[in-house]
Structure 1
């Protein structure tokens, strides 16, 4: 396939912005590895760039917003979980009026312990803004916060992935319903004053309406509102309640883990390190008829309010759906190399996909063909009842074969409702993935419990769902070593370690819980896999057992290192375990400044536990860094002074 790369320097912009077309996909990059830091004086800093999008004549099937974060080359990653926005500021040129449509809501991660090679990617479907993303558009990344800006920040890339093709719905108009930060809990500024009903008359050629809502809770009053309190929201249309939900999100399964801060604590519809996915509601409308939309928050008043609800909501009117029978593949969750799905990958069993009904008729069945390149394809007939624009996750039967290294997995959909698909351009998807690790038939699972073992239990299952080994919830003792030898026949297996409190075997904020760890060893006691103790909700590890010794994964070349507590007024302890003795250097480094405060050198260290007394140090943050053979293998933030 021929690839064409075009660059255009707009006469009103000093930086040329690029868009490229590969087949039916156009990629518009508005911010290319832009260094983003705060403005501590104001708390807000804007990064604006003009970009060139396709003209209105180009049919658009789908638009994905891709956001990539990394650590700047000259700075370290930033610390705090700030609320950032991606805006369409102007459309048409420098003299055009402001539009000011937030199309992306980014909650930054706690990046204090990320290394310089760290990066992460997020994606969101923003097809509903296709009317605005045409021709010359000014895109702004708005970064908030007050942390220092001379030694930390982010390196961001913003890409708009525009897939050409017949629209599922042809847009007619877009209207902003609500947009702002609204006080919540204040008796003198009731939030309903900002969420008044909005009426609109359906356009003459509109038969379909979509409500799009971005909402997150912020602030911290005596009840934890709005960041740490769950409150319900109602959505009413023409006098009928069409949705009621808690504005709340669990964070213990965050794919970006661990982070330096309170990343796993549940929040008001967001988690640190998260590109928010909007709530979407599809409704029929009658042209020329007046309709009313009303949003209501749970009644709430407090004595000293500080909470606010940040809400951006839109109404998009469309013509009728283009097709009656149309199914699309939205995502491949397993197997994939995507960082968004890293908690369930690599895996050797049960592929997981997401499909969406793009047809006006309910989707009751479709045919799914799937498999790895070089291996036999499988066929599965899915049956259900999926309404227009709804999506569902499907677990497909069977193991996931593969060769050593990278593999390609392909999924194809056909025959929606036993009909010909009206648009086959989005019926096939493939992912690149790494085959699950292969181990011998005898393994040792070494679990060291923390002070709260009642929260933990683990199970080993075969690919057919049979339980092979289990230590159930409520059966474990505190601060105890469990070394379970697993004798497994050749096949595919899953090891799942759960934590019912969603705070793993270690969480710096939970000092009473202490620290535990989990390791998978071979029968010789060599480390095969070290699981990070700060895992939140669960550890999932899929692996294959084989009698072919030439295919077995090698012992882990990196050591297992842990430090706890990381918030202390005195002592902290480091545990170290590796497969071979090496020279190990441990440094305590001041933050900010980077000054090495302590250095400990251990010659030919293989295993050990070491306690460091930091009570003499002033209250501030430090980093405990571990180098093996001169290479940094561990970097953990330690706060002295609580």
Structure 2
């Protein structure tokens, strides 16, 4: 006979599970508007609309957060596109085909230079669009406007979806109003931007506590003398009742882009955008304290002298809200480290210092917080955070200590508790889990191979351990240009971080600067097997965390071949260095806009430098792709110009 206490235990457990408050569980929905849509340019117009409908919850269902996710991939039927175009994403009609047309911009997608990307390439971006929650209801038309002048034989595979978190709104939205929307001439003495960005008077809604400006803003064009607006830094001010509430430099560093390397000038800083970027909006809150307020945008005064074509693409929507619904409400926005997400590749994998992003969604200033974190299967750790976060402000928290892991795939869990020492009034967004792969394992004896380029004064190579102790360093002071260095290290057991830093933000190689030459950096075992190879075209540099074990599990998937195409900005000739593990057959293809121009076959090659003569080719941009035994080993863009 089964003991009665066992039966009672399981009965109690069932009742406990069954009686849990369902409101404590996060409820989510995913709405897809565009799924595997092949988008191409319309060169006769310079833009091409791709519209599709999404069915969102009705107005009776409460929505707490909405995030828009956009992904681009290599199309199945055509080649991938090459150019960095600004593609607006807008809400078109609402309520069906006969409904109202709103034409509200909700995102700006800046396409990457795609010529280097292979058939299996795909990337995703994600931004917060919660402020549009009152509009994203029932049937909504989402329009993706692919701009540019490329031919119909190249394009992208597009997906757009919306991740919804259902539940109490952070604050009640009372109204919205479009303030500015368009391309505004900049630096044109006959059409000053101040004449277009005129002040707007707003009227307070009943119960309104604060206003929120949601701004999407990029600069384009190439005038003289400053290269505005794409390549010139200029400031923008937002004023309320003639008082500046926001001043910022409309400029963005691009050499730290997570999507790298790209085919074009991806490292060049730009006018508040970078190639391969879904722009996150500027969100600026201000108190509404009287019946009317005046809002004004001002740009840094500037007058172009030649090639007057600069413009500022600006959309700004004003939302009015009641007071935030909760006093103490914090959200765990993202686990940055450790995390396998491709867009976080600049930080991962890592041995130390987990990183998270938190956001204060409560009306009280957030001054303290308890963070508990652990890798599944390991001991839980606790960190007491203190700081000062106003409503809707974010902070990156670096958690102390090493990251626990088993070899292979792991789960990392984080939970937020006790904002300001009190119970979080919306705990459903206080936990997250990330999946991460443990850092590579290495033997204790390794060889560091460093081929410097023609500008070694820009580069530093370092190895530190988890206690931040310097183990190895190659600085500009002890490095000659265009020189091969090989150093053998005997490392103790434990974790390490190896970094390549570039103060010029152009890596060991960048096609636009052929005089820079090219270099490379790799770690090998004493038998010559490559254990890790750094990307030479890496902008600001790279970091690589690894661990030394007595019996390391070596990654056998590391590419052993050394393949370099240099130079990639040419008048007549370029060279392709091919060093393979064994004698192999293959071919070199030269393409232009996806069309094959020339094939160079080869047989039984192991170590050879191919001289590729392109003197008979017309000027333009080409792609050179190397196939070895049918597998694509290299795909890079080159620019041929006789001038």
Equivalent position to 2:404, from 401, 404, 416: 401
SS of structure 1 residue aligned to 2:457: helix
**3-state SS of the aligned residue for 2:346?**
helix
Shift, 1:566, TM fit = 1.2
1:486-509: per-residue Cα shift (whole Å, max 9, x none)?
322111111111111111111111
The correspondence of residues 342-421 of structure 1 with structure 2, limited to 5 A, is 342-421=345-424
Using the TM superposition, give the Cα deviation of residue 407 of structure 1 relative to its aligned residue in structure 2, in angstroms: 1.6
1:216 counterpart residue number: 218
Indicate yes or no: 2:316 matched with 1:313: yes
| Paired position in structure 2 for 1:589 | 590
CA distance in 2, matches of 1:527, 1:415: 48
Distance 1:602 1:445 in 2: 32
- 8 Å Cα contact 1:587-1:596 kept in structure 2: no
1:582, 1:629 within 8 Å by CA — same for their partners in 2? no
Aligned match for 2:165, one of 163, 166, 173:
163
Partner in structure 2 of residue 629 of structure 1: 629
State the shift of 1:577 in Å: 3.8
Give the secondary structure class of the aligned counterpart of 2:171.
coil
SS at match of 1:464: coil
Kindly provide the CA deviation profile for residues 418-438 of structure 1, in whole angstroms up to 9, marking residues without a partner as x: 111111010001111211111
Matches within 5 A, 1:477-492: 477-492=480-495
The aligned counterpart of 2:446 is 443
Cross-structure match for 2:548:
545
Equivalences for residues 191-206 of structure 1 within 5 A: 191-206=193-208
Pair 471,128 (structure 1): closer, same or farther in 2 beyond 3 Å:
same
- Give secondary structure in 2 for the equivalent of 1:128: helix
Deviation at 1:593, TM superposition (A): 5.9
Deviation at 1:557, TM superposition (A): 4.2
Name the residue aligned to 1:15: none
1:457–1:474 CA contact under 8 A, matched in 2: no
Question: What TM-score results when the alignment is normalised by the length of structure 2?
Answer: 0.93
Work out whether residues 583 and 603 of structure 1, in 8 Å CA contact, stay in contact via their aligned partners in 2.
yes
> What does the per-residue CA deviation read over 1:235-271, in whole Å, with 9 as the maximum and x for residues that have no partner?
1112211111110000000011111111110000000
Q: Aligned in 2, Cα 1:621/1:233: closer, same or farther, shift over 3 Å?
A: closer
Moved more, 359-368 or 118-127: 359-368
Aligned match of 1:601: 602
Q: What is the CA-CA distance between 1:333 and the residue it aligns to?
A: 0.9
Distance 1:48 1:419 in 2: 46
> Is the Cα–Cα contact under 8 Å of residues 75 and 152 in structure 1 kept in the other structure?
yes
String of CA shifts for 1:174-233, please: whole Å, max 9, x gaps. Answer: 111111100000111110111111111211111121111110000000121000000011
Write the mapping of 1:235-634 to structure 2, written as runs, cut at 5 A.
235-286=238-289, 289-304=291-306, 305-549=308-552, 551-554=553-556, 556-578=558-580, 580-592=581-593, 594-595=595-596, 597-603=598-604, 605=606, 607-634=607-634
TM-superposed deviation, 1:528 = 1.1
Paired position in structure 2 for 1:84: 87
* CA-CA distance at 1:166 after TM superposition: 1.1
Distance 1:167 1:23, change over 3 A: closer
TM-aligned CA distance change 1:159 to 1:431, over 3 Å: same
Kindly provide the CA deviation profile for residues 103-137 of structure 1, in whole angstroms up to 9, marking residues without a partner as x: 01100011112111000000000101111101111
Structure 1: 5+ residue runs without aligned partners?
Answer: 1-21
Equivalent position to 1:117, from 97, 112, 120? 120
- The offset of 1:560, in angstroms, is 2.9
- Taking structure 1 as reference, are residues 597 and 210 closer, same or farther at Cα in structure 2, changes over 3 Å only? same
Cα distance between partner residues in 2 of 1:372 and 1:356: 23
Shift of 1:289: 1.8
Q: 1 CA distance for matches of 2:445 and 2:317?
A: 57
The alpha-carbon deviation at position 23 of structure 1 amounts to: 6.2
Partner of 1:62: 65
Separation in structure 2 between the aligned mates of residue 343 and residue 608 of structure 1, nearest angstrom:
33
CA displacement at 1:402 relative to structure 2: 2.2
Equivalent pair of 1:527/1:555 in contact (CA under 8 Å): no
Match of 2:9 in 1: none
- The secondary structure found in structure 2 opposite 1:340 is helix
Partners of 2:129 and 2:560 in 1: CA distance: 41
Structure 1 Cα separation of the partners of residues 251 and 624 of structure 2:
34
**Does 75-84 or 517-526 show the bigger shift?**
517-526
Asked if the contact 1:589/1:597 (under 8 Å) is kept, the reply is yes
The structural deviation recorded for 1:447 is 1.2
Distance in 1, Cα, partners of 2:503 & 2:587: 34
Q: Distance in 2 between matches of 1:189 and 1:615?
A: 45
Shift of 1:474: 4.1
CA distance in structure 2 between the aligned counterparts of 1:516 and 1:466, rounded to whole angstroms: 27
C-alpha contact (below 8 Å) 1:32/1:158 kept by paired residues: yes
Of 36, 41, 44, which aligns to 2:39? 36
Cα distance between partner residues in 1 of 2:413 and 2:516: 44
Give the alignment partner of residue 174 of structure 2, picking from 158, 168, 172: 172
Query: Would you say the 8 A contact 1:455–1:474 is kept in 2?
Result: no
Tell me, in whole angstroms, the C-alpha distance in 2 between the residues paired with 1:617 and 1:204. Answer: 68
Matched position secondary structure for 1:227: coil
Q: Alpha-carbon deviation of 1:403?
A: 2.8
Aligned with 1:72: secondary structure? coil
Report how many aligned residue pairs link the two structures.
616
Of stretches 251-260 and 567-576 in structure 1, the one that deviates more from structure 2 is 567-576
Deviates more, 1:330-339 or 1:260-269: 330-339
SS in 2 for 1:417: helix
3-state SS of paired residue (2:345): helix
Residue 39 (structure 1) shift: 0.6
**2:305 & 2:638 partners in 1: Cα distance?**
36
What is the root-mean-square deviation in Å for CA atoms of aligned residues? 1.6
Once the two structures are TM-superposed, the CA of residue 548 in structure 1 deviates from its matched residue by: 2.0
Aligned-pair distance for 1:449?
1.1
TM-score by length of 1: 0.93
- The 1:604/1:564 distance shift into structure 2, 3 A limit, reads closer
Aligned position for 2:11 = none
Q: Helix, strand or coil: the match of 1:242?
A: strand
1:503-528 Cα offsets, whole Å, 9 max, x none, are 11111111111111111111222111
